[in-house]
Amino acid sequence: MVDPDRQLVFQARGVTKVYDMGEVQVHALRGVDLELYAGELVVMLGPSGSGKSTLLNILGGLDTATDGFVGYLDSDLTRASQRELTEFRRHHVGFVFQFYNLIPSLTARENVAIVTEIARDPMTPEDALALVELGDRLDHFPSQLSGGQQQRVAIARAIAKNPQVLLCDEPTGALDSETGVIVLEALDRVNRELGTTTAVITHNVTIGGMADRVIKMGDGKVTDVLVNQTKKQPHEMHW
Amino acid sequence: MRSIYRKLFRDLWYMRGMALAIALVVTCGVATYVMSRSTLDALTTTLDEFYSEYRFAEVFATLKRAPESVARRVSALEGVDVLATRVVAGASLDIEGYQEPVQAQIISVPDEGPPVLNGLYFVEGRSVDAYRDDEVVVSDAFAEAHGFRPGDELGAVLNGRRKQLRIVGIVRTPEYLYQLAPGSFIPDFERFGILWMGRTPLATAFDMQGAFNDLSLILAPGASREEVIEAVDLILRPYGGFGAIGREDQQSHFYITEEFRQLDQMATIFPVIFLGVAAFLLNVVVTRLVQTQREQIAVLKAFGYSNIQIGVHYLLLVSGIMLLGVLGGLALGIRFGFGLAELYMQFYRFPYIHYQLNPGVVGNALAVSMLAAYIGTMAAVRRAALLPPAEAMRPEPPPRYRQSIVERLGLSRWLAQPTRMIIRHLDRHPVKAFFAVIGIACASALLLMGQFFDGAMNYMMEIQFSMAQRDDLSVTFFEPTSRKALYGLESIPGVEYGEVFRAAPVRLHNGNRTYRTAIQGVEPRGDLFRLLNTDLDVVEPPPDGILIPPHLGKLLGVAPGDTLHVEVLEGSRPTRSVPVADFMEQYIGLGAYMRIDALNKLLREGPAISGVFLETDEAVITDVYDVLKEIPRVAGVSSRLQSIEDFYDNMGETMLVFAFFYTLFAAAIAFAIIYNSARIALSERARELASLRILGFRQSEVAYILLGELALLTLIAIPVGFMIGWALCIYMVSSLQTELIRFPFVMSAGSYAFSAVIVMGSALLTGLIIRRRLYRLDLVSVLKTRE
Ligand SMILES: Nc1ncnc2c1ncn2[C@@H]1O[C@H](COP(=O)(O)OP(=O)(O)OP(=O)(O)O)[C@@H](O)[C@H]1O
Ligand SMILES: [Mg+2]
């Protein structure tokens, strides 16, 4: 349900990204136009190599566009310096990656704490882990957790600083269907309870069912945007 | 504690093996630095204090004989503060139960009170009773060598008259910290002693009543030493003055400062090399660490850690390792330094030693190590700090595939699969292999360097005491004598053959550069004393002209073909010009050599000799000694074999003590480096090897893949290390050249073998440790995460 009065969080206009590989140039993005609104949950679908990760990285300030405009609230990310991008990530964005990317030498609690310690108005690591139902595994190291549990720690780490946006790149890619559902429930809950704008990249068309909107990408462009009239609950989905 | 610091400590803990190995290298570097620097500080402050407390003189002059009134004229000179005159005489001693002749120098002590200058520190006993002609005080090195205690007696020949002397005291003095018999380069405490006797009885024995033949003085504040020396020379010239010298030319002081300088250089070179190695290792380790933690760095950045915070994180890691090493090095350095200082105190016979650790030394150790570490890791830390986060999210691109040398040469058929994997891995990662080889090569080079002194010293002794000097005994006379003395000595039963020599103290001049030494005149076609050119071929002394070692040429700024001005410091003291005929090799001491007849001519004298080299029958050598002791004009007898022994006992020791510590450290470092490179390889390849195990490779095959590579790299590294070691030794040889000793650059086969054995031993030990770890490899964890 897109309410045009809702606040615009991200706005992308004609975003291109070219990787210069010396002899060849890879056009990862060829002019992307996109809006993300406050509090919505979007799912991005598309074939491998279509530029999803590239786009998400640019939105999250991990990477910069070759050309075009990317705006976040009132600021222009395309003009931001590295320092400003760092500040942007520090205070506004939470990331979830396909391979969790936890720090192996830190426990679940410490993996979350390493982010809350530099954030402005974080929740406690314990609260964040409770939100993903891992309140009882606080002092376990990543190697002592299952893949799904690790991914939930990664989500807790991403939301613990109360970010405005949560960017997830194939959060269930490495997980089985049941564990995937648990992870998606955690994301859905965060989106509902905290109102965090959430973007989820996936290859799994079924997951599109839980989104407010589904954005389809192909060959470096947005090819289609679907609005879900009725959102599904994660536990209603199977693949 | 903040989680980022937790990560720091856990990372350090996780890599503790490598961290400890590096810290160990730092410990060695800092320990050598602190040990030698604090020892050197202790030695110099102690020396200074001993000098001032016992009023070591600043200018020394010896002469034939002058009445006391002359001393008053010197004393009245502007610039002279305190002056003391003495009677100094040579004597030969007869010690009961000791066969060889013993040479002594007897110095007068004032009739009233202690010496004004060059004071005596009493280890035992008391000073002589001024008017007893049979009491003496002896130097403690001499006393120790013979086990003398106050109350013991010894026989002496004073000016041809036999006398029984009683020891009443045992002393040390700043004037004879280093005791050399005249004309000798090597201390010999058994055959040369310093004795003190009352002025009146000594003067009476040597017909020196109301006169003196030795003068020393301390300068008034602000006085010019050169001017005073010149003025003193002018006054003493008519009385047979041999030329006054400043403290820096005084024998004991000169040798001591030379040795300190050598210690000082070693104290610089070794820590620099060790810290360089540590910096290199840190570079390798941190580079690898940043590579393996790419994704962690990316995550931290994705969540808002800044470049600076990441950079600081890795710098802190480096600092942690360094701090560990520095603290260990300080502890060890202080511990060893204290021991070493005590050792040197005994060696130099200081009455005490002030061992203290200068805060500056600690500060320098810390600052220099940290600087070395930061320079070594700068590139890696920079890379971590500047890693673009989006790029870091993906693992590093795999190396581009190409056929390895095994496939290209079609060798794969002949090699087993694991061997092919070793070669393929090395072929694909040439840079890593290169660094591993360099690391191990450093270990081998350090060991070679530690061993160098031993080998070089043996070689040096071999050249000096078997190629050049071949006599059994060398006899010196009190005064230049006629050649007939040779026939007298040759007629002693047991003496088979003799060759004469003439030695004269001189000052060599070239422009305003001067050097005080002795010219030795040797017989042409001599067999007992031969001159060697710089290629170590035996050469004849030229009919005229002088031969000098290249180092003396460097000091004086002359080369073969140039002319030197020779100021003779005895007899009529003529000054002559002599051409430098050629350079010659001499490793110990700095002398000048001529043909004996040319020297006689230069000295404006007939065929006089100063002494004789003898070849004797070893079996009856004690009989020869007995006869020599009875000959009044014989001032001293020295045995070549004894000189070799004395060298190792006395001078060799200071160097070898250092070399021993360095070898110890080098061995520790060798192990640290090899263990470290193996651990890095293990941590990098654990996944791959675990995967192979999952695929069905046996433990032994997997161990072979990793350890075979280590073995191969070690074997390649050893000869590379020899080359690095050469370069380091050549550098060291050139920077350790002193007037006392110049090490030849030679490397003994034993040194190579030692270095290779320690390196291979370390590799073996490392292999055993690594194999245990490999066998405990966690196969399941590999499946859990991606790569
Ligand atoms: N660092 C890079 N250098 C060169 N090309 C790159 C780089 N990163 C991405 N690309 C290229 O950009 C294009 C888009 O990549 P991107 O990772 O965004 O795809 P994606 O849609 O996320 O694919 P997937 O679903 O497989 O993750 C691809 O063709 C990829 O090869
Ligand atoms: Mg992707």
Does residue B769 fall inside a structural domain?
Answer: no
In a domain? residue B740: no
Q: What is the DSSP string of B136-194?
A: EEEEHHHHHHHT--TT-EEEEEETTEEEEEEEEEEEE-GGGSS---TT-SS--TTTEEE
Residues of A with CB below 8 A from B295's CB?
Answer: 99, 101
Q: Is A32 a domain residue?
A: no
**What is the predicted pLDDT for the residue at B405?**
64
Contact A79, A123 (CB under 8 A): no
User: Is residue B259 situated within a structural domain?
Assistant: no
Of ligand 1's listed atoms, the one at least distance from the Cα of A203 is 25
Residue B549: the pLDDT is 94
Average pLDDT, chain A: 89
Q: How far apart are CA B136 and CA B535, in angstroms?
A: 49
* Alpha-carbon gap, residue B465 to B468, rounded angstroms: 6
CA atoms lying within 13 Å on the CB side of residue B35: 28
A91 interfacial to chain B (CB closer than 8 Å): yes
B292 touches A: beta carbon within 8 Å: no
Chain B residues touching residue A95 (CB < 8 angstroms): 299, 302-303
Residue of chain B whose alpha carbon sits nearest to that of A106: B7
The answer to whether residue B342 sits within a structural domain is no
With the most atoms of ligand 1 within 8 angstroms of its CB, the residue from A20, A21, A26 to mutate is A26
Return all residues near B360 (Cβ < 8 A) that are at least 6 apart: none
| CB contact at 8 A, B318 and B381 | yes
Q: Is A82 in the pocket of ligand 1 (CB under 6 A)?
A: no
CB B196 within 8 A of CB B137: yes
Q: Which residues of B655-667 are buried (b: 16+ CB within 10 A; e: fewer)?
A: bebbbebbbebbb
Question: pLDDT higher for A13 or B272?
Answer: A13
Q: Is residue B237 part of a domain?
A: yes
Tokens matching residue A166? 């949560």
From A70, A77, A66, select the one nearest A36 (Cα to Cα).
Answer: A70
- Cα angle for residues B385, B388, B392 (degrees, 5° grid): 100
Report the candidate in A101, A38, A34 with the shortest Cα–Cα distance to residue A65: A34
Asked if A155 and A176 count as a contact pair (C-beta separation under 8 A), the reply is no
Across the interface, whether the CB atoms of A110 and B781 are under 8 A apart is answered no
DSSP B41: H
d(CA B63, CA B420): 82
Question: What is this structure's pTM?
Answer: 0.73
- Which pLDDT does position B781 carry in this prediction? 57
Domain edge (last residue) among B210, B234, B254: B254
Structural domain ending residue among the three candidates B222, B254, B286: B254
The confidence score (pLDDT) of residue B787 equals 42
What domain range is B540 assigned to? 469-643
**Band of the pLDDT at A216, cuts 50, 70, 90?**
very high
Question: Region A85-92: what's the mean pLDDT?
Answer: 86
Please tell me which of the candidates A57, A99, A118 has its beta carbon nearest to residue B786.
A99
Whether residue A172 contacts residue A99, with contact meaning beta carbons closer than 8 Å, is answered with: no
Q: Tell me if chain B has a CB within 8 Å of the CB of A97.
A: yes
Token pair for B756: 């290779």
Q: Which residues is B651 bridged to in the sheet?
A: none
3-state secondary structure of B132: coil
Nearest to B237 by CA among B61, B107, B85: B61
User: How many structural domains are present in chain A?
Assistant: 1
CB within 8 Å: B3 and A62: no
What type of residue is B150? P
What is the predicted pLDDT for the residue at B784?
46
SS (H, E, C) chain A: CCCCCCCEEEEEEEEEEEEECCCCEEEEEEEEEEEEECCCEEEEECCCCCCHHHHHHHHCCCCCCCEEEEEECCEEHHHCCHHHHHHHHHHHEEEECCCCCCCCCCCHHHHHHHHHCCCCCCCCHHHHHHHCCCCCCCCCCHHHCCHHHHHHHHHHHHHCCCCCEEEEECCCCCCCHHHHHHHHHHHHHHHHHHCCEEEEECCCHHHHHHCCEEEEEECCEEEEEEECCCCCCHHHCCC
The tokens describing A35, both together, are: 């809006």
d(CA B679, CA B684): 8
Q: Tell me the CA–centroid distance for residue A174 and ligand 2, in Å.
A: 13
Residues of chain B with pLDDT under 50: 783-784, 786-787
Q: Which atom of ligand 1 is nearest to the CA of A57?
A: 18
Question: CA–CA separation, B146 vs B255, rounded Å?
Answer: 24
Give B 5-44 residues with CB within 8 A of chain A: 6-7, 10-11, 14
Closest ligand to Cα A28: 1
SS3 state of residue B498: strand
- Chain B interface disruption, residue of A77, A86, A129, most B CBs within 10 A: A86
Residue A14 in tokens: 């004609």
CATH of the domain at A166: 3.40.50.300
Three-state DSSP state, B546: strand
Q: What's the pLDDT score for residue B594?
A: 95
Which residues of chain B have a CB within 8 Å of the CB of A99? 295, 785-786
Q: How many CB atoms lie within 10 A of CB B375?
A: 13
R_g (Cα) of chain B, nearest Å: 33
Tell whether A178 is covered by a domain: yes
Can you tell me whether residue B615 is helix, strand or coil? Answer: strand
What does the pLDDT read at residue B457? 83
Instruction: Say if A163 falls within a structural domain.
Output: yes
Q: Is the CB of A54 under 6 A from ligand 1?
A: yes
Asked if residue A68 belongs to a domain, the reply is: no
Helices and strands, counts by H and E, chain B: 22, 22
Does residue B423 fall inside a structural domain? no
Q: At what angle do helices B640-694 and B16-53 cross, to 10 degrees?
A: 160
Q: So what's the ipTM on this one? A: 0.76
Contacts of B302 in chain A (CB under 8 A): 60, 62, 89, 93, 95
What is the DSSP code (8-state) at residue B531? E
Q: How many domains does chain B have?
A: 2
Are the beta carbons of B82 and B223 closer than 8 angstroms?
no
Question: In chain A, what residues touch B14 (CB-CB under 8 Å)?
Answer: 105
> Which pLDDT value is given to residue A1?
45
Chain-centre distance for alpha carbon A29 = 18
Residue identifier of the C-alpha nearest atom 17 of ligand 1 = A53
Assess if residue B478 is contained within a domain: yes
Task: Check A62 against B389: CB less than 8 A apart.
Answer: yes
Q: Which domain holds residue A157?
A: 38-61+92-236
What pLDDT, on a 0 to 100 scale, did the predictor assign at position A148? 85
Question: Could you read off the pLDDT of A32-66 as tens digits, one per residue?
Answer: 999 999 999 999 999 999 999 999 989 998 888 99
Q: How many CB atoms are closer than 10 A to CB A211?
A: 25
pLDDT of A182 reads 86
The pLDDT score that the predictor gives to residue A44 is 96
Yes or no: say if B155 and B165 are a contact pair by the CB < 8 Å rule. Answer: yes
Domain boundary among B188, B220, B254: B254
Assess if residue B533 is contained within a domain: yes
Distances (CA, A) of B69 to B65, B79, B130, B211: 12, 18, 22, 8
A16 C-alpha vs ligand 2 centroid, how far in Å?
16
Which among B7, B14, B295 has CB closest to A101? B295
- Among B residues 613-642, those touching chain A with beta carbons less than 8 Å apart: none
Q: What is the DSSP string of B754-779?
A: HHHHHHHHHHHHHHHHHHHHHHT--H
